[in-house]
Amino acid sequence: MRVGRSLGVSLLPLFLGLVLFAASLTPSLIPRAWAVQGALGGLVAALGYMIGRLLLTLWRALELPMLRGRAALYGHLIAAIPVLMALVLCLGHARGWQNGIRSRMGMELIDTIDVPNMVLVAVTVLAVLLLLGGLVQGAFDRLRARLYRHMPRRTANVAGLLIVIVALTIGTRDGVLDRVVRALDESYTTAQELFDTAPPAPADPRTPGSAASLVDWGSMGQPGRNFVTGGPDGAAIAAFSGRPAKNPIRVYVGLAEADTAEARADRALEELIRLGGFDRKVLIVAMPTGTGWLDPGSFDVVEYMQDGDIASVAVQYSYLQSPLALLLETRAGLDQARALIRAVHRHWRSLPRDSRPRLYIHGLSLGAWASMYGTDLFSLLDSPINGALWAGPPFPSARWNEAMAERNPGTPYVAPQVGESRLIRFASHTQDAGGAQGWGDMRLMFLQYSSDPIVFYEPASFWRPPVWMREAPAPDVSPDLTFTPVVTQFQLVVDMILATSAPAGHGHSYYARDYIGPWVAVTDPEGWTQADSDRLAAHCNRGFQQGCDNG
């Protein structure tokens, strides 16, 4: 009887954990190495075990019959057979599933999966999580035992559970989590090379951060310095196009420049005016990613197609990586985007309509999310911007979700069409941007890869498949991808963590070549042809890792 009761408590939850572990071996959007797969498998196995324990607890609370003795033993043996079969089957297919993704992304195929080490990692993670769960359970048991002396058992159970939850929340939020965030923030701040550790300032007075500049070079940070000193100059652009070209203007203000979003935005505007940014044909207001990085491939291509007659301005709002900034510094990016766009738009609309530049908004990843928020279309009705290009918009982006909700029936979720494509268009590595014709007064473009989990993560995937999983798979998505409750949620979370490890043109690794069509469609460069786009794509193919200026 005792053995049967013990088996009833431990083995059935363990079987459920093994089933979830087997399901975690199925493919998702981004290829996984064996160590990552082991950690993922251990995590979902622990969740399966926990769910199984909760179900057993509920079963006993309802006083439903339990198998005991020999019947329990036979029942567990029968249940173990399909579980082990599923586990062996999934382990046998794991390499093929991962190679299925890798082949669609043009990656080198793997010969084998290190199953012993993967299982070792999974068992280690499972053991650690079960140990932590046991410690929490022990604390709860001791606490409610004390509460039994002062209140009814049911009330003591509820009160004890609430106290443990509150204690864990406060302990992780104000203890471990705070220390981790502080350490990450300090490490990323150090990597920025601020002030005393900054390299020498540029001598050219036309470069932000120089002695003549209104922007402090030391506060700009490494991402900002790379942005303002990188990219093609007029000579490189002229050599490519065969036409006279100007040196593009790039303005960047670092987070350490001023204490408030408004002050940083005003400083950026003053520097943009000093450099003559409002005298150019095109003006781009951009928001960087969490660390302050701006994708050189995006800016390089549009500077080539505009013959350098273009200015770009950006302001930093965080030192953290984008996922951390999204979770921990949500308001910082939104407030900075709104302050910068308002400041630039206010000055821009004060200029004569026939002599001011065409104004566009741009951002990648968290920069797209922030700049979408800062682009208040209602407040711009009297003087609307000319358009926007948002690449890799994160799934919480309100404006992206609104656009997706308006997609035409029958169009793919990962490559939708909205209305007659006069206001909003979607482009990807497999879907053309539609060219510069057929637009209305404003042009809003989303660039998104079908294998990008930052875009297509779905919080509800814990219990139901995302819309795109119910449609035919995109060219770089495995046809073997299937939905499993609980497991799919954590597969996609891991995919988001690994999103930038995908090859260029897949996942969250946006490729300079794929910006060309969207920028042509949005900015309609004068005299530009498809042959020019093809030449620029070839130019980027030779040097896309650093943008297109070194091609």
What is the predicted pLDDT for the residue at 187?
A: 55
Distance CA 70, CA 76 (A): 10
Please compute the mean of the pLDDT values over residues 284-308 and round it to a whole number: 94
Angle between helices 487-498 and 2-24 (to 10 degrees): 40
Please compute the mean of the pLDDT values over residues 225-249 and round it to a whole number: 94
What is the predicted pLDDT for the residue at 458?
A: 93
Q: pLDDT tens, 511-547?
A: 999 999 999 999 999 999 999 999 999 988 775 444 4
Please compute the mean of the pLDDT values over residues 54-69 and round it to a whole number: 74
What is the predicted pLDDT for the residue at 546?
A: 43
Q: Is the pLDDT of residue 159 over 90?
A: no
Query: Which amino acid belongs to residue 195?
Result: F
Supply the mean pLDDT for the chain: 87
Structure tokens given for 514: 């794929």
Q: Is the pLDDT of residue 414 over 80?
A: yes
- Contact 225/198 with Cβ under 8 angstroms? yes
Q: Where are the alpha helices (DSSP H) in 426-529?
A: 453-456, 487-498, 512-523
Distance CA 536, CA 15 (A): 56
Distance CA 338, CA 264 (A): 12
Please compute the mean of the pLDDT values over residues 37-49 and round it to a whole number: 95
CB atoms within 10 A of CB 128: 12
What is the predicted pLDDT for the residue at 186?
A: 56
Backbone angles phi, psi at 307, to 5 degrees: 55, 30
* Across 4-13, 56-65, 144-153, 288-297, least confident range: 4-13
Q: Where are the beta strands (DSSP E) in 329-417?
A: 358-364, 387-391
Measuring CA to CA, which residue among 510, 523, 512, 521 is closest to residue 310?
A: 523
Q: Choose between 77 and 273: higher pLDDT.
A: 273
Categorize the per-residue pLDDT at 9 as very low, low, confident or very high, splitting at 50, 70 and 90. very low
Measuring CA to CA, which residue among 309, 313, 314, 304 is closest to residue 248?
A: 309
* Across 65-79, 84-98, 408-422, 519-533, least confident range: 65-79
Query: Which amino acid belongs to residue 369?
Result: W
What is the predicted pLDDT for the residue at 188?
A: 58
pTM for the whole structure:
0.88
Instruction: For residue 363, give Cα distances in angstroms to 189, 342, 510.
Output: 22, 16, 12
Please compute the mean of the pLDDT values over residues 188-211 and round it to a whole number: 80
Measuring CA to CA, which residue among 44, 91, 132 is closest to residue 462?
A: 44
Please compute the mean of the pLDDT values over residues 348-354 and round it to a whole number: 92
- Contact 28/94 with Cβ under 8 angstroms? no
What is the predicted pLDDT for the residue at 49?
A: 92
What is the predicted pLDDT for the residue at 360?
A: 97
Query: Which amino acid belongs to residue 281?
Result: K
- Contact 360/284 with Cβ under 8 angstroms? yes
What is the predicted pLDDT for the residue at 456?
A: 95
Q: Is the pLDDT of residue 160 over 70?
A: no
What sign has the CA pseudo-torsion 205, 268, 448, 295?
positive
Q: Choose between 137 and 270: higher pLDDT.
A: 270
Burial per residue of 393-431, b for 16 or more beta-carbon CB atoms within 10 angstroms, e otherwise: bbbebebbeebbeebeeeebbbbbbbeebebbbbbbbeb
